[in-house]
Amino acid sequence: MPAISSTSLNFESIINAINVGLILVDRDQKVLLWNEWVARHSDIPMEKALGKPLNEVFIEPPSPALLAAVRNTLQYGLPVVLSNALHRSPLALFQITDARMEENRMHQSVTITSLSGDDLQRYCLIQISDSSNSIKREKMLRSHSEVLRKEATTDSLTGLYNRRFFDEHYKMAMGQAVRQKLPITIFMVDIDYFKDYNDYYGHLAGDKTLNTVATTLRNILTRSSDVVARYGGEEFILMLPNMSSDNALQFAEKLRRAIWNLAIPHIKSKIGSQLSISIGVSTFDQNSGGNERSLILAADTALYDAKHKGRNQVSCLALSSFVVPESQAASVNSVM
> How far is Cα 155 from Cα 161, in angstroms, rounded to an integer?
6
Q: Which of 102, 234, 235, 292 is catalytic?
A: 234
Q: Are 235 and 158 in contact (CB under 8 A)?
A: no
Tell me if residue 234 is catalytic: yes
Burial class from Cβ neighbours inside 10 Å (0-12, 13-18, 19+) for residue 314 reads buried
- Tell me how far apart the alpha carbons of residues 284 and 320 are, in angstroms, rounded to a whole number: 9
Whole-angstrom distance, CA of residue 314 vs CA of residue 248: 10
Q: Where are the beta strands (DSSP E) in 157-234?
A: 184-191, 227-230
In this structure, what are the phi and psi dihedrals at residue 121, rounded to the nearest 5 degrees? -90, 155
DSSP state letter for 81? E
Residues 235 and 251: beta-carbon distance below 8 Å: no
Query: Are the CB atoms for 22 and 15 separated by under 8 Å?
Result: yes
Yes or no: say if 115 and 124 are a contact pair by the CB < 8 Å rule.
Answer: yes
Residue 34: count other Cβ atoms within 10 Å of its Cβ. Answer: 25
Backbone angles phi and psi of 272, in degrees to 5: 165, -175
Q: Which strand (E) or helix (H) includes residue 126? A: strand 122-130
Catalytic residues, by residue number, are: 234
